[in-house]
Chain A
Amino acid sequence: MKRLLTLSALCLVLAAPAARAADDPKDLTAQLDALDKRITRLEDSNAVEKLQKSYGYFVDKAQWTELSKLFAKDATLEIGGRGVFLGQDHVLDYMHGAFGTDGIKEGQIINHMQFQPIVDIDPDGVHAKQRMRAFVMSNGGWGLPMYENEYVKENGVWKIKLLHGPFTMYTSWDGWAKSATPNTRPESFGEPPDLPPTVVYLTYPSYYIVPFHYPNPVTGKPWRPGTQQAGAYASPSQVSLENPGPRKP
């Protein structure tokens, strides 16, 4: 009996690894959980892209109330050099202050085209970052904000958590060879921010490199800005296309 028992125990032990590999429900469940996570990340990536693209489509048609609802309640907004606005309500105040009431008007064109997304979902699955270019085609001319935004998933729904859009270049319809708005003109904006700008910089013909949220996709190494990047010129008053001012080393 004792031998029989030992034998049967041995059989069970031998059988166990084979069963685990093929169809042990516990092991399969773990594999399916891992697969589910990977599929969810792909779905999340699409959702975060869609969120920022619909932001662009709302700007096109001056749908400021709908746009503000893309933000989490405690979200922040910082555009150009106008400082930081805190909370969904102040996002709406900012938009109404900058553009007027809801709804596109006759003769108005403010297309906010959203291109070139780079989305990264955090391992926790509820936070994300996205770099995305905006290409502005408006009555005023051309514009290039560069977004580096953060997103949060609340109750299964992705929302904008932090919107930061420093300007690369703004020009009139004459084109950037002839005209440019060299700074972000914070004084041109009535609505006071809750916090000062997180970064002070100049736009084209100067330059500012908005930090990349991701490392180099090939080397895996992050790009780090040098000290010269946070505003390439000494004084905004010196800057024009004809007189770009002293270049810092």
Chain B
Amino acid sequence: MMRKLAILAAALALATPAAAQDAAAVKARVEALRARVELLKDHDKIENLQAAYGFYFDKSLWSEVADLFADDGSFEYGQMGVYVGKAHIKRGLTLISKEGPEFGKLNNHMQLQSIIDVAPDGKTAKARFRGMMQLSRANEGGQWGDGVYENDYVKQNGVWKIARLHFYVDGVTDYDLGWTKSAIPLAGQSAAIPPDKPPTEVYRGYPGAYIPPYHYPHPVTGQPLNIPQPADSVLGRK
């Protein structure tokens, strides 16, 4: 009987360090799971941030749009050049339309088909969005437009902000005529409210062909998508 007791005591003594080891392992796993949940939450927050951008943009609420950016954030739309900082972004936006909704104005910039990649450290992120547009100005008729966003985001004090927004406008066409009959050229840089920097990439909207670079590697092969740009007879790209 004594022997059995001794064995039991020994077993208990041995169990203690093992339990401590287990506790450390459990803690590590909890931390790892917590980090993965944070990344999922960040993913959703960025989708909402970009959706909010679109909803404000629809109604030309430029102050609200500018406030979505980080202090040193940048905004680039088509071939208009790069605007840096909230104040200058807000001024640059008035080139697209005057502030606020207007009778006869439709400025819909839909934010669709998100591909969001949050950095493993959870501090920065990149996303591609589809930007389908329904536009009109009073007495000018309707337009369809299309483009792709490739944006950077940054988390500051727990809040996600737009660090760099780049809208590659693909093309704009007259609603009645359509792509086969109408191609409205992209606006260039303004002399009245000049950008801080020229366009980061010079390209031509439809009928020109251009591939906005993909921020993500191929989802299956994992290889970077370094796809050569198609030929453009006007820009002289072979």
A residues in contact (CB < 8 Å) with B: 1-2, 5, 8, 23, 25, 28-29, 32, 35-36, 39, 42-43, 46-47, 50-51, 53-54, 56-57, 60-61, 63, 66, 69-70, 103-109, 111, 113-115, 137-139, 141, 157-159, 173
Contacts and interface: CB of A to CB of B under 8 A. Distances in A.
Interface residues of B, number: 54
A7 B98 CA distance: 85
A66 B4 CA distance: 68
A106 B228 CA distance: 14
A42 B39 CA distance: 11
A108 B219 contact: no
Interface of B: 1-2, 4-5, 8, 19, 22-23, 25-26, 29-30, 33, 36-37, 40, 43, 112-116, 128, 130, 132, 144, 146, 148, 170-171, 177-181, 206-209, 211, 214, 216, 218-222, 225, 227-228, 230-233
B20 to A, nearest CB: 10
Contacts of B19: 25
A123 B216 CA distance: 28
A139 B179 contact: yes
Where chain B touches its partner, the secondary structure class is mixed
A17 to B, nearest CB: 16
Contact of A106 (B5, B179, B219, B231): B231
B33 A35 contact: yes
B219 to A, nearest CB: 5
Given A54-B115, A56-B113, A158-B219, A108 B209 contact: yes
5 contacts: A60-B148, A104-B211, A106-B231, A107-B207, A109-B170
A109 B49 CA distance: 29
Contact of B112 (A36, A107, A115): A115
B138 to A, nearest CB: 23
B1 A106 contact: no
B207 A106 contact: yes
Contacts of B2: 1
